[in-house]
Copies of this chain bind each other. A is one copy, B any other.
Amino acid sequence: MDLGRLQPVWKLWIEKDGEYVFGAGTFKLLRAVQTTGSIAKSAESLGMSYRYAWGLIRNVEARLGTRVVETHRGGSTTGGLTGGGGARVTEAGIALMELYARVSEAFEKAMDNLS
């Protein structure tokens, strides 16, 4: 058998009390919020609607029971015309991102060591 055409594939997510909370999509979204300081710009950069991006964030927050993104009006030069104001990832959001990134990087390293 041609093993070279076989590829191990993995998916990682974070659960709280056995329920899905956070995964690859929300990781990318929060990382974009850290970079752009704006939900609107983050949504645009990931090819999703502003409404959809907020839905993802609200789902994480509902499951987690705490805010992962805080928004403020004005005072930001990065806010877009739609959904203005700025946004930043909270400490709880950063903790989720760090946990996800730590495991993800460990898995990537493990895969590299195998091949």
Interface flags, A32-46, vs B, CB<8A=1, else 0: 000000000000000
A92 touches B1 (CB 8 A): yes
Least CB distance from A34 to B in Å reads 17
A–B complex contacts, Cβ < 8 Å, 24 sampled? A1-B64, A1-B91, A1-B92, A1-B95, A3-B95, A6-B15, A6-B96, A6-B99, A7-B15, A8-B14, A8-B15, A9-B13, A10-B10, A10-B12, A10-B13, A10-B103, A11-B11, A102-B114, A103-B110, A103-B111, A103-B114, A106-B110, A109-B110, A110-B110
- Other than the given A3-B99, A5-B16, A103-B110, 4 more pairs (CB < 8 A) read A1-B66, A1-B91, A7-B18, A106-B110
- Give CA–CA (A66, B2) in the complex, Å: 11
Interface flags, A81-94, vs B, CB<8A=1, else 0: 00000000001100
B11 touches A6 (CB 8 A): no
A9 touches B14 (CB 8 A): yes
Least CB distance from A8 to B in Å reads 4
